[in-house]
Structure formats: C-alpha cells, structure tokens
Amino acid sequence: MKTKACILFLFLWSVQFAFSQKNIDTLPQLDLYKVALINQSDSYITFPTDIGNIEPLMFEAKVNPSFVIRERKDSKILALLTPQIIIRMYNEESYPVRTPSYIPQISFYYLANKTDALNYLVLFGKVAHHSNGQDGSFYNEDNTINLKSGNFATNFFEFGFLKTGYSNRLKAIKTLKSSIEIHPKSWMLQELKGKYSGLRWHNTFTSFKFPLRDSHSDRAIFSLKAEATLMLDNYNDLDIFDLDRFNASVTFYYHPKFLEDIGLFVQFCHGMDYYNIYFEHQLSMVRFGIMTEILKF
C-alpha cells in the first residue's frame, strides 16, 4: 500500500513538474538587449488625421534604428547607438519638410539585478545632441522665434533605471522607467537659456499584452505606453505648479496577426512641442499611424 502511495505521489509530482516547466518554457523571454529596446522610442509614421492644435501635417515620421555594442549576448553591459531623426511634412503648398529634429545619441545599460527570467533591474545613462540643422537667426525682425530657418541646438545627458516584471494572469510584461534629463547651460544655445527647460524628470510605464490562448507568440498583440515629464528648473518665469511644466502622453498599439513587423497606434499627447525650435508651442492632440515592431520576445 505504501509502495502504491509513493508511486502515485511521484506520478503526480512529475506531472506537476512537467506542466510547471512547460509554463516557464512558453513564457516570453527577456534579456538586457530587449530591456534596452523597450526604453528606446519607436519608429513610426502618422496619418494626416491629427486632431488638436498642431499645424496641418501630411505626416510626422520618426526613424529610430538602434545599433547594439556589446562583447557577447550575455554581457551585463551594453550600449546602443541611435541616429534618431524626426521630420514633419506640412500640408501646405509644395508640402515642405521644415527643420527636422536630429537627435543622435548613445545609451549605456547595466544589468544591476535579475531575480528571475522576467524580473530585471537595469541602470542606464544617455548622452545626446538635439538640433535642427539650420543656421539662420534665432529671432525674426519682430522678435518672434524664427521657426523656418532659426538655429536650434542643445546637448543633454540622462540617467535613471528600468524595472521589469510579468503578470501571469494577464500574460503581460510590465516595465517602469524613471530618469532625470539635464541640459547644462554651457551645452545649450545662448538664446535657449531661460526659455527652454534644462532639468526634466521622466516617468514611463509600458505594458506588453500577449494572447491568452497562444503562449508561444513571440510578439505582443497589444502594448500600452504612458509617459509623464515634469520640468523642474526655472524657465519662462513659470510658477512651480504651472501646467505648462507638465508633459504627458498615452500610446496604445495594436499588432494584427496578418502583419509581420508593423502595427497600428493611437496616441494622445499634451505638453511642450518636442519638435526642436517649436518648443514654445503647447500641444494637445490625438494622432493615428503605423509603428514598427522590432521587439521579439
């Protein structure tokens, strides 16, 4: 009788182990490179259907490839070199593309802690340049900012952390980022001082949702990114609690099964215009478009 009980116990234990092992094996997998990619902004093209107070556009496009620098795949340290470019084509005569944003950057990532396959703590730092490739006077004759050909340039560094986790119930990978971005005054164009925020606190929450019935999927069907930035320094004589100090955006992404590398997104954003010399504009808009999906789990 004891022998039968022992056999039954071993059988049940082996079945439980097999199913547990299958669940582990079929979960999406992370590594330092994928965590770094989650922190990189996406490449996209918007449709000419923006709703809000932005100028009429044919499209806005961001090209943001990442070139990885590391010794080997299991390295605890890696770097990403990114020649980021943002362009806007305006819905005007001749459809001009004005003052593109050039934001080349190099980011460094260090794996500080890993408690299991999907729980990471990563420290990162970034050095970047932001300019518009123009050399005209910053101001027009009427003392307004020269948006068409005015020179815009600043350099900055950013440092912070990324924390990842996984929800078995929702089959979703979650990440939290918090960082500080600093533009030293000596790295900034003289005309920007006192007008352009040089100290910013960024917080981002991202979630990648996997199909509940298909644990073998290597891509998330849905993803959600919520971003918030607070300008901490004294610029434009803004009060401490002025809403102009606050930037926020929410992006919802859907990846249909019939598309390989791109999906559809809708985004709401409010705050300072991020398009170089247009920084004095306050945007509130909803936009739609297509986004690349280079992240495979």
Q: Give me the number of domains the chain comprises.
A: 1
pLDDT tens, per residue, the chain with 297 residues:
444 444 444 444 443 433 333 344 556 778 999 999 999 888 999 999 999 999 999 999 999 999 999 988 889 999 999 999 999 999 999 999 989 999 999 999 999 999 887 899 999 999 999 999 999 999 999 999 999 999 999 999 999 999 999 888 778 899 999 999 999 999 999 999 999 999 999 999 999 987 765 555 667 888 999 999 999 999 998 998 899 999 999 999 998 888 777 899 999 999 999 999 999 999 999 999 999 876 766
65 in Cβ contact with 37 (< 8 Å) = no
Taking a C-beta distance cutoff of 8 angstroms, is the pair 230, 200 a contact? yes
Residue type, 226: A
Flag whether 219 is in a domain: yes
Answer whether residue 90 is part of any domain: yes
User: What pLDDT is recorded for position 40?
Assistant: 87
pLDDT value for 26 = 57
In a domain, residue 182? The reply is yes
The overall pTM is greater than 0.75: yes
Q: For residue 182, what pLDDT is reported? A: 98
The reported pLDDT for the residue numbered 210 is: 76
DSSP string, 9-42: HHHHHHHHHHHHHHHHHHS----HHHHHHHHSPP
Residue 209 lies in a domain: yes
Q: Is residue 172 included in any domain, yes or no? A: yes
Would residue 13 count as lying in a domain?
A: no
Residue 1 lies in a domain: no
46 found inside a domain: yes
CA dist 252 and 117 (Å) reads 26
CB 276 within 8 A of CB 99: yes
Q: Which domain holds residue 225?
A: 29-292
pLDDT of residue 164: 95
224 contacts 206 by C-beta, under 8 angstroms: yes
Domain of 209: which CATH number? 2.40.230.10
